[in-house]
Amino acid sequence: MAIKLHRCSGTAIRGSHPCWKVQRALDEAGIDYETVKHPSFPLGRRKEHLALTSQQKLPAIEFDDGHVLSEESDALVERIRSGRLRD
Ligand SMILES: N[C@@H](CCC(=O)N[C@@H](CS)C(=O)NCC(=O)O)C(=O)O
């Protein structure tokens, strides 16, 4: 399963940071992914992400068939941990 993690460029920020939480869950689950970083600020620079998901919030997960999950980060973490990422 080839996936892309769309996240903000604030990679040094961890803890409860939404993008970090999802990235850590993917790492812990041993899921391979490609990281696509989008500008943290200004949000107007997230044009590609806006075109993909119709929203500016990150993170999001894109599958190789073009399907995109752009749910709340806690919901994404739950999907990853319960093995329901593609459901
Ligand atoms: N409640 C959301 C918050 C997501 C969030 O704030 N993401 C940051 C990047 S880590 C962002 O896109 N901020 C820009 C904004 O709030 O519009 C979640 O947990 O997914």
pLDDT higher than 80, residue 72: yes
pLDDT by residue (tens digit) across 21-32? 999 999 999 999
Q: Please state the pTM of the whole predicted model.
A: 0.92
Q: Of all helices (H) and strands (E), which one includes residue 40?
A: none
41: containing domain: 3-81
pLDDT of residue 71: 95
- Of all protein residues, whose CA lies closest to atom 19 belonging to ligand 1? 73
Instruction: Please indicate, yes or no, if residue 86 is contained in any of the structural domains.
Output: no
Å from CA of 30 to ligand 1 middle: 24
| Rounded (10°) CA dihedral 7, 9, 13, 14 | 20
- 3-class state of residue 54 by DSSP: coil
14 found inside a domain: yes
Number of domains in the chain: 1
Ligand 1 neighbour 76 (Cβ under 6 A):
no
71 lies in a domain?
yes
What does the radius of gyration of the chain's CA atoms come to, in whole angstroms?
Answer: 12
| CATH number of the domain enclosing 72 | 3.40.30.10
Euclidean distance between CA atoms 14 and 21, whole angstroms: 8
Task: Give a yes or no: residue 87 inside a domain.
Answer: no
